[in-house]
Structure 1
Amino acid sequence: MANIIAIVWDFDKTLVDGYMQDPIFEHYDVNASEFWKEVNNLPEKYKKEQGVLVNPDTIYLNQFIHYAKEGKFKGLTNEKLKEFGAKLKFYDGVPEIFEKTKKLIEENPTYQEYDIRVEHYIVSTGMTQIIKGSSVMPYVEHVWGCELIEGKDNSGDPCISEIGYTIDNTSKTRALFEINKGVHSEESRSGVSVNTKIPEEFRRVHFINMIYVADGPSDIPAFSVVNKNNGATFAIYPKGNMKAMKQVEQMRADGRINMYAEADYTEGTTAYMWICNKITEFAERIRKEEKEKIAKYAAIEVPKHITE
């Protein structure tokens, strides 16, 4: 089994400068601020009117479906979502950092001997199809996000019409355990699920080899899982945003994250250097552990013919 170093990324405001849905609002000439204001009012609205509890992380999906069926997002299908993914505005250094961090290990002969490699995963409360249409996908092993089922709008034309699968800020931790157990990897064993009991030594990606990168308090459950299991945690904040900087600094002071930096992943920046350094640190530890395993068996005396 390979020695995997996994970098797990949040998406909005971590890799993307803003929200992944911004190109949709621009295309359909819908006021994004008004849309999100409506969404933010829905939990209280449904609680007051119907006594219904809704998930504030994913209720926005219903609003997208309503807009699609009513024709405000005319023709918004899964294929259309992928097209919007190609229009995303990433922070500087993305997707280049995905490729460079892979090569950092894969092109180093020291680590090839022990089959050490870097893999990238995205875990987001956003829309999977938008992510899959973006420029990071050639370097990503798997995406966890919200999936939508297609149906018909009020005019009978195809559009997103039902919620198929959701990820919220708490269930992101489930995705981490799926990475840990290799549920969605090409090497995963048949029948393995997130609830399968597997001894830690047989799990595909050890938590101690995970780096979780996100932008704020909403990712605290995922940060906590990685920290508890001795992985690494890193937060991003938009350049020049004092409020966001204070927020992640408080998270660092509280022990929620190991480090933070401005959202710029180009070579030479704090984010780039910290992530690369942590990857190398992990690789060196893995190499040392593998060498010690080999040395342990090499020290065992090989049986010889008995001579008088």
Structure 2
Amino acid sequence: MANIIAVVWDFDKTLVDGYMQDPIFEEYNVESKEFWKEVNSLPDKYMKEQGVLVNPDTVYLNQFIRYAKNGTFKGLTNKKLFEFGKKLKFYKGIPDIFEKTKKLIEEDSKYKEYDIKVEHYIVSTGMTQVIKGSSVMPYVEHVWGCELIEGEDKDGAPCISEIGYTIDNTSKTRALFEINKGVHSGDSREGVNANTKIPEEFRRVHFINMVYVADGPSDIPAFSVLNKNGGATFAIYPKGDLRALSQVEQMRVEGRINMYAEADYSEGTMAYMWICNKITEFADRIRKEERDKIAKYAGSQGPKHLVD
């Protein structure tokens, strides 16, 4: 039975007010605007100087490694990244909405009969360890993000030194297929990955039961997958940011998202109500489909004795 509803979240500027790296810059007295300005110049720099194409979504990781190795980010290890997760500034209503949306369905008797559940996933181009150290993790099934390998800095002290795994804005779609097929879930099937051929009816989380929440154009590939497969798409913009509002409104007009709202997930806000309403809508449909299946078989007549 396809009884799982998945809410899939972007992280920076969707759940976090800003970037997850902000506490790191603050700790080491690094000007964030200058750091990102330098990062944004790297794709053109490497193309002009070396004719090398780099991924603009993840090239920032090289800069973090460079700063860690040269001592600017002294002692920046995976353990320290995890600790920075505790310092993140989340939008209002986070992580409460994670817990409340689970209870919304799982504590309602009409859904309990069919064991309908809500699961939360995070898919981010940010650093996995920072996310794992944050307050949302008790409610999250799995995180897709960037992983870093440790080595040594110029003085021989431990620090992040290599890129282990990356997620960019295009490969976020792979994460959606892994959720769809049950990869990394608590009851995931051994040997199953994003490329495993599984008939739709046997997949763990149907796309039509997914909600994707993100902040803008960089998530269009993921929005597109869900829009084409009957899922729900929702965008967030920061309070008072007219430019961001215009951007998500344009996405709505173009049919790239279903709806958008100000980044506040407190109970009673547009974001909270829309997400809860969509989850309930999905749960009602799942319940009806299961009831219809049972009614179909219950209404059929079994074999009878023949009477002469």
TM range (shorter): over 0.9
Question: What's the counterpart of residue 263 of structure 2?
Answer: 263
In the TM superposition, what is the alpha-carbon distance from 1:303 to its structure 2 partner?
A: 2.5
| Contact 2:214-2:234 within 8 A present in 1 as well | yes
CA deviations 1:276-299 (Å, max 9, x no partner) are 000000000000000000011112
In the TM superposition, what is the alpha-carbon distance from 1:152 to its structure 2 partner?
A: 0.5
Question: What's the counterpart of residue 235 of structure 1?
Answer: 235
In the TM superposition, what is the alpha-carbon distance from 1:189 to its structure 2 partner?
A: 1.4
Match of 1:228, as an amino acid? K
Question: What's the counterpart of residue 207 of structure 1?
Answer: 207
Q: Percent of aligned positions with the same letter in both sequences? A: 82
Question: Secondary structure of 2:87's partner?
Answer: coil
Separation of aligned partners in 1, 2:78 and 2:18: 21
Question: Secondary structure of 1:196's partner?
Answer: coil
| Contact 2:2-2:203 within 8 A present in 1 as well | no
So what's the TM-score if we normalise by structure 2? 0.99
Separation of aligned partners in 1, 2:195 and 2:306: 52
Question: What's the counterpart of residue 220 of structure 1?
Answer: 220
So what's the TM-score if we normalise by structure 1? 0.99
Match of 1:144, as an amino acid? W
| Contact 1:224-1:256 within 8 A present in 2 as well | yes
Question: Secondary structure of 2:48's partner?
Answer: helix
Question: What's the counterpart of residue 24 of structure 1?
Answer: 24
Question: What's the counterpart of residue 48 of structure 1?
Answer: 48
In the TM superposition, what is the alpha-carbon distance from 1:304 to its structure 2 partner?
A: 3.8
1:1-308 pair list within 5 angstroms: 1=1, 3-306=3-306
Separation of aligned partners in 2, 1:148 and 1:205: 29
Unaligned 5+ runs, structure 2: none
Separation of aligned partners in 1, 2:111 and 2:151: 49
Separation of aligned partners in 2, 1:2 and 1:115: 10
Separation of aligned partners in 2, 1:183 and 1:85: 25
In the TM superposition, what is the alpha-carbon distance from 1:2 to its structure 2 partner?
A: 5.5
CA deviations 1:55-81 (Å, max 9, x no partner) are 000000000000000000001000100
Count of aligned pairs? 308
Separation of aligned partners in 1, 2:303 and 2:240: 68
Unaligned 5+ runs, structure 1: none
| Contact 1:2-1:115 within 8 A present in 2 as well | no
Match of 1:7, as an amino acid? V
Separation of aligned partners in 2, 1:217 and 1:12: 13
Question: Secondary structure of 1:80's partner?
Answer: helix
Question: Secondary structure of 1:201's partner?
Answer: helix
Match of 1:56, as an amino acid? P
Q: What is the CA RMSD across the aligned residues, in angstroms?
A: 0.8
Separation of aligned partners in 2, 1:58 and 1:300: 57
